[in-house]
Structure 1
Amino acid sequence: MNSRRFVQITAALMFGCFSLGSFAQTASCNKTVYLTFDTGNMSVAKQVDQILKRQNVKATFFLANEKTYRGDYALEDSWKPFWQQLAKEGHHFGSHTYDHDYFVKDGPKGQVFEKSQFGPKAGQTVLYNEATMCKQIRRVDQRFQEMTDQPLQKIWRAPGGKVSPTLVRIGDMCGYQHIAWASAGFLGDELNSDKYPNSVLLEKASRELKDGDITMAHLGIWSRKDPWAPAVLEQLIVNLKQRSFCFGLLPK
């Protein structure tokens, strides 16, 4: 047998082993975890995508027009190829409110006080009625369709996860289900990296996540010196696979 033929056969055998390994992992998993990412400053967005592709894992992304590490904004045309690529890869997407609107408190007559982080009213606490709140949720959907020719899933997440029954009800009336995360699903990427090093966050999540848990991290965060991704993400996925977890998409 010549050397070229030997290389071809060896490569085919290796590919078959990897394929069987992936199939065995998929076939043997008996628990599900849901990986989710909020936009954040987008500084590790491409690394996250590369890891998910390498591990053959799908995730759910919640989008807001947040300022990125490049000085632009996450829903501007400069990020259009990135969102198109994620959509092509089969991930799911939800709204994180267009201007990253933080819930402050309930207002009168079924209204809510919100404080936008970005946009024309950034930093102001404003009373939102149902129509105004729906507009902030739906505007992400409209923009995503402009970029990718496909709609969001009918889901949303309030910035910081801060909600009230009134706000959740408004989202429901707009046609979008609110998605929070499990306590063990808070992956800690926005915490101080001196007090909460990546090794601690990895060990905690690998140990504590349970069947059905939704996780939450960001595609980059301003407040952490030692980035959570990619340092934690890939090994966490590997550890969860070893615990027989599958990776689901939202909504459930």
Structure 2
Amino acid sequence: MKQPKKLSGQMLVRLLLLTVVLIAAICTPLGFQHKGLPEVKALAMKEQAAGGTATHKVNFAAPAPQKLEPVHTSAIGSAGASAALAASQTKKAETLQENQKEVQGKTVYLTFDDGPSPHTDQVLEILREEEVTATFFVLGEQAKRYPEKIRRIVDGGHALGNHTYNHDYDALYDSFGQFWKQVKATEEVLREITGTRTALVRAPGGTYGHFDKTYFNLLEQGGYKVFDWNVDSGDSKRKGVPANEIVANVKNAKLQDQVIVLMHDGGGHEQTVKALPEIIHYYKKLGYEFRTLSAEQKPVQFSLDPQVGKKKNRPAPSAEWIASNVVPNAALFEPELPLTVEAGGLQTRLAPGEYELRDGQYVAPVRMVMERLGAEVYWSEATQSAFINWGDAYIVADTRRGVLTAVRPDGTYAEWEVTFERKAQALWIPLRPLLEALGHPIVGVVSTAGERRVSAI
């Protein structure tokens, strides 16, 4: 955010006059009455009575206004929210227990890392012929290169997992921020291809010697499930490991009720393809059931390397970064819930579909949210800007510049760089900079059993 600048009296007068002229001349009223600009209100009503002008061709339809509910901001994070959160955690625990009951017995999870590649099609054909399913932990750069193979994986009834974007050890294990960035990049690639996200993550090289407590804790807090393995086929220990050695590694592994087998379908793993049928036959003869990994089951994870913290001098993510990126991310993998927005002693509730979570921020149509909170909003088609007046706060959302400007009562102003989106004839704005510009910064973001909630002062 740029530092506030002091306007001279003459400049302030010019700015206010210019704003009034622009609004009176070209702004589209968006279904409300502006208390401070009666002339604009009269002009809008006159234009609408005459059948509308060019400024009214854009239909910014929004749901009917909801009744505003006063709230007590001192109750944020109260026992009620804690109880709801506890109920949510209890429900998740019950789901986990039910899932564990379902997979009791001998179950094998075939997993393939580093794809997709030309070998992926061969693997998929073998799985189809053997009528078994598997989980593919894919690289973002490879998924972007072979989107049709990602679709075939999904169409075949298999599961997708996130194996980071480019498998670069130096970057991934230099800091958690770098690892998170690659996970999110791959997640978006897969979402663009399949329309869904995956909460399954596998660390390149496994977690041992790479993950510290920060990696484990923040990924879990962000809604991800990290899976290692308990059977290593050894197909990546060196280049060109022969098929008979891969099969022998699997057969020599300790038998367990729940087996997760590590294999690879990236480039250069044609011997894995050759070994796969015999590996499948081996587990079939032992009576194992083949399944795909699920975010609802307890993950297999390596123990924490006590020396990893000493070996790697990693910068710790700030509390602000965690609150902005990690905390709200978990909502991406939760059931669709309404979002309650409370600010200035008022609150409104957005139904699923009336908001989205993007890059760790809640985004919603500005007119819908602000009108429900009692604000006044105008749209200027000529300047491609929205004008918002809420109490003493006045802001301008300039979509051409990608800037949100707040004009303070004392003559100062502040700007935020914001990514705007026009969708379904509505202007969508991230709630965090919007509320901050209006003088109500967000102080809490929580997700409970029944809702998601954004609390601002």
Q: Same fold (TM over 0.5)?
A: yes
Which of 143, 146, 152 is the matching residue for 1:75? 143
For residue 196 of structure 2, what is the amino acid of its counterpart? Q
Equivalent residue, structure 2, for 1:250: 293
Contact 1:36 1:62 in 2 (8 A): yes
For residue 74 of structure 1, what is the amino acid of its counterpart? Q
User: 2:105 & 2:284 partners in 1: Cα distance?
Assistant: 10
Which of 215, 239, 251 is the matching residue for 2:261? 215
User: 2:194 & 2:156 partners in 1: Cα distance?
Assistant: 12
Equivalent residue, structure 1, for 2:281: 238
Q: In the TM superposition, what whole-angstrom CA distance separates every residue of 1:189-226 from its partner, at most 9, and x where no partner exists?
A: 113367x532132133134343202111111344x6xx
For residue 55 of structure 1, what is the amino acid of its counterpart? E
User: 1:190 & 1:64 partners in 2: Cα distance?
Assistant: 16
Does 1:147 pair with 2:193?
yes
- SS of equivalent to 1:98: coil
Shift of 1:165: 2.4
Does 1:115 pair with 2:171?
yes
For residue 228 of structure 2, what is the amino acid of its counterpart? A
- SS of equivalent to 1:85: helix
Equivalent residue, structure 1, for 2:129: 54
User: 1:212 & 1:199 partners in 2: Cα distance?
Assistant: 24
User: 2:114 & 2:249 partners in 1: Cα distance?
Assistant: 23
User: 2:134 & 2:116 partners in 1: Cα distance?
Assistant: 18
**Structure of higher CA gyration radius:** 2
With over 3 angstroms needed to count, the CA separation of the structure-2 counterparts of 1:101 and 1:177, relative to structure 1, is farther
Q: In the TM superposition, what whole-angstrom CA distance separates every residue of 1:32-59 from its partner, at most 9, and x where no partner exists?
A: 1111111257241111111111111111
Once the two structures are superposed, the pairs formed by residues 158-177 of structure 1 within 5 Å of their partners are 158-161=203-206, 162-177=210-225
For residue 149 of structure 1, what is the amino acid of its counterpart? G
Contact 1:206 1:240 in 2 (8 A): no
Equivalent residue, structure 2, for 1:42: 117
Flag the structure with more relative contact order, 1 or 2, with Cα contacts below 8 A and sequence separation at least 6.
Answer: 1
User: 1:165 & 1:84 partners in 2: Cα distance?
Assistant: 34
User: 1:128 & 1:41 partners in 2: Cα distance?
Assistant: 25
User: 1:151 & 1:37 partners in 2: Cα distance?
Assistant: 18
For residue 87 of structure 1, what is the amino acid of its counterpart? V
How many percent identity over aligned positions? 28
For residue 75 of structure 1, what is the amino acid of its counterpart? A
Contact 1:38 1:217 in 2 (8 A): yes
- SS of equivalent to 1:213: strand
User: 1:211 & 1:193 partners in 2: Cα distance?
Assistant: 31
**TM-score under structure 2 length normalisation:** 0.38
With over 3 angstroms needed to count, the CA separation of the structure-2 counterparts of 1:165 and 1:51, relative to structure 1, is same
With over 3 angstroms needed to count, the CA separation of the structure-2 counterparts of 1:127 and 1:243, relative to structure 1, is closer
With over 3 angstroms needed to count, the CA separation of the structure-2 counterparts of 1:150 and 1:40, relative to structure 1, is closer
CA RMSD of aligned residues (A): 2.4
Q: In the TM superposition, what whole-angstrom CA distance separates every residue of 1:135-188 from its partner, at most 9, and x where no partner exists?
A: 321221211110112222x11011111322221112112210110011xx1111
With over 3 angstroms needed to count, the CA separation of the structure-2 counterparts of 1:145 and 1:238, relative to structure 1, is same
